[in-house]
Structure 1
Amino acid sequence: MKKIIILLLLGGVSILGGCVSQQSLDEMPPMPAADPSVDDVNLANGMDEPAPESNDSPTQNAPTEDLWVRMRQGFALDLSVQNDRIRIQRDWYARHPQYFMRVTTRAERYLDYIVDQAQERNMPLELALLPMVESAFDPFAYSHGRASGPWQFIPSTGDHFGMKRTWWQDQRRDIIQSTNSALTYLQQLSERFDGDWLLALAAYNAGGGTVSRAIRRNEEAGRPTDFWHLDLPRETSAYVPKLLAIAQIVANPADYNVALHPIPNQPYFATVNTGGQIDLAQAAKLASISVEELYLLNPSFNRWATSPDGPHRLLVPVDKADGFRTRLASLPKDQRMQWARYQIRPGDSLIAIARQYRTTPQVLRSINHLNGNTIIAGRTLLIPGPSASGNSYTLSESQRLAQTQARGSEGRQRVNYTVRSGDTLWDIARRNNVKVSQLAKWNNMAPRDSLHIGQSLAIWTHGTQVASNNADNPNMIRKVHYAVRNGDSLYAIADRFNVSVNDITNWNDSVSRKRYLQPGQRLTLYVDIRQTN
């Protein structure tokens, strides 16, 4: 039932459009809405979720220091507007008060900061509620339009606003950077439309060009050019009423029998300068908080550690900040991260080593100050790794993917598929009789995301016979003639075909560990095509 509620809430919502650096902000394209990536109750992370008293008003005895009181004082949009488009959205929320409570509970970590930034810019504080429309305040929300984070930036728009996307982190999920970028974008759109915030919101959703063209059509037809009279995409026509409906409920929750999670009118988090890269499990221990709480405040991090490239800061609960700073200052630098030392062997390749240690060649090059992929036998590589077990980093990219892949559909059977050269999501979905949208959702992806060889996909299928390269079939060993290419090594070829170096030398009398392979040299391999990368 929770998933149905989430989909109803977010249905018809579009998200921040994208641009490349040479594009006008007015031409950012429309994008579809995000589904929260992890369970909406778990994201509350143990925060109290009190049900409204049956005999009392939800806002009875609300303290003056409550953040909702402060927000209402800064509301500046016309919330007296009443029409069917707003009523439909508002009635839905009124019928699902517990969902409203869950989302406002989740918002507690972030809302004070968003309100502060909007107030400093003299913006209507209703805009601080926009992440409720965009992502339901799920910082890990990822849409099938490739948008990410609480404000739902697509990659090109994130690039425009300087939000880095690396193996280590995706700054579109960073609370500080994404909030500041979203508010800047909204201000630019407001200026574009002469201070009309409803048109700015519509353009945030559909793109400025779409709104401008709708205005021109109405001008030519002699019709009014306010938001309510424009012919806009269906999702945009519902998007602005959705925000207004939420604001009307926040303004007068008792009128709709909706309770808001009480949020103190004070900062939830403080920023701590870490001075460099640090393991997140180590940081959580120093801050006396759970690793999950650290990820929820710092959702941009994909791995077990902060990015070596910065920014070198962590958000921690306000009451933990001083203790964290003190303990961090006394931590020896060599204990911030755990490192493996790998001695390069003849025939090794950077790609094969990276795969073995579940990292990337780019990371190894950066850490070891390598200019290219050339490595020399006998030398040592430093390889970063987690200080705790993998499942300790509960909201890392790999753990979130594992949680998503484990949640299938009732009556379906899970199979694992290893991506091969030439595969596309469309081909894999068609062979397994599932929808591309389903396959993408099961694997925390968007339908247009690219695949990489060796990637593991979860497929939940109805059938017992699955067109997967991991299906149980004893006759999947094939004899393969392989021509050695420039840069190949025994270890790289073994890794590519999921065989051992010993197997290759046993199958080929002319091959030895002591001799380099030559381009054009032909090898005979016996490959299980279910396991081929």
Structure 2
Amino acid sequence: MGPEQIEDAIEVLDARTESQRPLVSELGEGAAGQAPDDLFERIRAGFSLTDVDQAAVQYEVDWFARHPAYLDRTFKRGERYLHHIVTEIEARGMPSELALLPVVESAFNPVAYSRARASGLWQFIPATGLRYGLKQNWYYDGRRDVLAATTAALDYLEALAKMFEGDWLLAVAAYNTGEANVARAIKRNLAAGKPTDFFHLQLPRETRAYVPKLLAMRRIVADPAAHGLAFSSIANQPYFVKVEVGGQIDLQVAAELAELSKEELLALNPAFNHWVTDPEGPHHLLVPVDRHDRFVRGIAALPPGERVRVVYHRVRAGDTLGAIANRYGVTVAALRAGNKLHGTLIHPGQDLLVTAAPGARTGGGAAPAAAIHAAALAAESSPRAGGKGGRHIVQPGDTLWSIARRHGVNMDHLARSNGLPTHGTLSVGQVISIPGTTRMAALSAGGETRSTTYVVRRGDNLSRIADQFRIRLSDLMNWNSLHSDSIIMPGQRLVMYIDERRRAGI
């Protein structure tokens, strides 16, 4: 599972809620009246930014007013997250308008991903996310963590407001374009004897529209009826609660324990890149408030051997679906269904989800989770025949030196490839990438690699995409089983393994 599958889940949830009462509609279409405990009223009460008479703001107001369906979808998504965001903002004494910033950033899509590689509700790029403590690895991307990313975003905004002497419009502009760009624009205006407020600065086009969009949302939420809109209430109460789960857990298992759809669980916990949580944490999950008690009871009663039901198999040269299915005790049909494969074609370097969930049956029943996990450890921890590469799952007693020796690679190279200190401590269950795989060999030595999915846009071609992400065209084609004559279509998803150092131009 990756962000694209979580995005599919969000789309499923969007479709399910289309028939529900509208949160935002055109005035006169029967939206419910405001309730005293309405979260929108709470947001309005905390407004502290000054409305400004600027054409750029009115332009954005007019756009939002013409698209009530867009606002409705956005706030239905945001209904899950808004109470937490507002509570955190109030605790810091920040303007409550900032609770509307995810409307501008991501339309409250927790897996939104931009061309600049920004991700999550608050659209952190990798470097800024790391600067504010958002861990990013194979299992987990903190930029998509509802709690961690909200804390990081508010920390960043507070720091920017302090930098720009309490001017929140400049802080918001800097959140979009970077503090250095805003500082340089201010310096240019000072040198020219011009005002240094946001609307007099020469900033990138996106930023010149970004702040007006936030002010437009403020104006619309402040008085929807003035713009021909009606807002139904959002309950002014927590939507979710955090539950400590005590270690790594399969997300499908968690959904079943909470008696919750997997789409809803993923919408609240979008930071996990695969169907299992990070063995090194965080060891908590968010669940709707009304599922708290049953989930806590279920976690307490869950046998340790049933916590993890899925593993991933890295396809190697010579692998077939039949051979992989036999190795893990599941059926080919289950492998195809779990990985959305339309045929039997697989390629080296591809990750296949192997599940012990009902439906992955052999003989009289589902393959036990413990058996699948043991098979995964044996398969993933053994060196590849005929060369280096693959993944190693850390077992008791393992060190970087012993892993490097076992796989015949340089220890320093192994450490750099995984972003680890050479004398660091490893955790049992931790996944170590072994340099030499298609993925690793395609990237510069010592770089930190990130798996990402790119959605093809109109006008894209393979060469342009490769140039944009600073990867080799041949690698892009190999990763996606394409050739020079392949045609890509808008909406098609391409997988890429990006060296962050190369992407940043280092």
TM-score range, shorter chain: 0.5 to 0.7
Matched ranges for 1:81-100 at <5 A: 81-100=52-71
Structure-2 change in CA distance of 1:41 and 1:282 (3 Å): closer
**CA, structure 1 residues 336+55, in 2 after alignment: closer, same or farther (shift >3 Å)?**
closer
Question: Which residue does the alignment assign to 1:46?
Answer: 16
Q: Identify the match of residue 77 of structure 1 among 37, 46, 49.
A: 49
Aligned match of 2:337:
none
The one of 461, 479, 482 equivalent to 1:435 is 461
- Root mean square deviation of aligned Cα: 3.8
Q: Contact (CA 8 Å) 2:77, 2:109: kept in 1 or not?
A: yes
Indicate the residue corresponding to 1:365 in structure 2: 394
CA distance in 2, matches of 1:354, 1:332: 39
SS of the residue corresponding to residue 103 of structure 1 reads: helix
Separation (CA, whole Å) in 1 of partners of 2:381 and 2:148? 40
1:310 to 2:339 alignment: no
Equivalent residues in 2 for 1:222-237, closer than 5 Å:
222-237=193-208
Tell me what 2:191 maps to.
220
CA contact under 8 A between 1:190 and 1:196: conserved in structure 2? yes
Q: Which moved more, 1:297-306 or 1:59-68?
A: 59-68
Q: Distance in 2 between matches of 1:293 and 1:332?
A: 24
Unaligned runs of 5+ in 2: 1-5, 309-368, 408-427, 432-437, 445-458, 489-506
Letter in 2 for 1:222: G
Q: 1:150-204 deviations in whole A, cap 9, x for unaligned?
A: 1111111111112111111111100000000000000000000110000101111
The question of whether the paired residues in 2 share the 8 Å contact of 1:72 and 1:125 is answered with: yes
For 1:177 and 1:183, how far apart are their aligned partners in 2?
10
Name the CA shift for 1:368/1:352 in 2 (closer, same or farther; >3 Å).
farther
Residue aligned with 1:350, SS: coil
Larger helix share, 1 or 2: 2
Contact 1:58 1:257 in 2 (8 A): no
Higher relative contact order (CA 8 A, sep 6+): 1
Q: Counterpart of 1:75 in structure 2: which amino acid?
A: F
The aligned residue for residue 492 of structure 1 is none
Q: Shift of the alpha carbon at 1:215?
A: 1.1
Q: 2:155 aligned with 1:184, yes or no?
A: yes
The structure-2 alpha-carbon separation of the partners of 1:286 and 1:203, relative to structure 1 and needing over 3 Å to count, comes to: same
SS in 2 for 1:316: strand
Q: Partner of 2:267 in structure 1?
A: 296
Q: Does residue 262 of structure 1 match 2:233?
A: yes
- Write the mapping of 1:420-431 to structure 2, written as runs, cut at 5 A: none
Kindly provide the CA deviation profile for residues 232-264 of structure 1, in whole angstroms up to 9, marking residues without a partner as x: 111111110011011111111111123445321
Deviation at 1:351, TM superposition (A): 5.2
Residue 324 (str. 1) matches residue 346 (str. 2): no
**TM-score, normalised relative to structure 1:** 0.63
Residues of 2 paired with 1:353 and 1:468: CA distance? 30
Of all paired residues, the percent bearing the same amino acid is 44
2-side partners of 1:347 and 1:114: how far apart?
Answer: 41
Change (3 A) 1:51 1:246: closer
Aligned pair partner of 2:135 in 161, 164, 181: 164
In the alignment, is the contact (CA less than 8 A) between 2:24 and 2:72 conserved in 1? no
SS for the counterpart of 1:271 is strand
TM-score by length of 2: 0.66
Q: How far is the alpha carbon of 1:383 from its aligned partner?
A: 8.6
Contact 1:186–1:204, Cα closer than 8 Å, also in 2: yes
In the alignment, the residues of structure 2 paired with residue 231 and residue 133 of structure 1 have an alpha-carbon distance, to the nearest angstrom, of 21
Instruction: Tell me if structure 2 keeps the 8 A contact 1:38–1:140.
Output: no
**For each residue in 1:484-511, what CA deviation from the matched residue of structure 2 results, as whole angstroms up to 9, or x when unmatched?**
xxxxxxxxxxxxxxxxxxxxxxxxxxxx
Aligned twin of 2:101 = 130
Task: Give 1:110-509 correspondences, 5 Å limit.
Answer: 110-260=81-231, 262-337=233-308, 338-339=369-370, 340=372, 341-342=374-375, 349-350=382-383, 361-362=391-392, 364-365=393-394, 369=398, 371=400, 372-375=403-406, 434-436=460-462, 447-448=469-470, 456-457=479-480, 467-468=485-486
Per-residue deviation at 1:83?
A: 1.5
The structure with the largest alpha-carbon Rg is 1
- Retained in 1: the 8 A contact 2:26–2:228? no
Pairs aligned (count): 376
Q: 2 CA distance for matches of 1:467 and 1:264?
A: 54
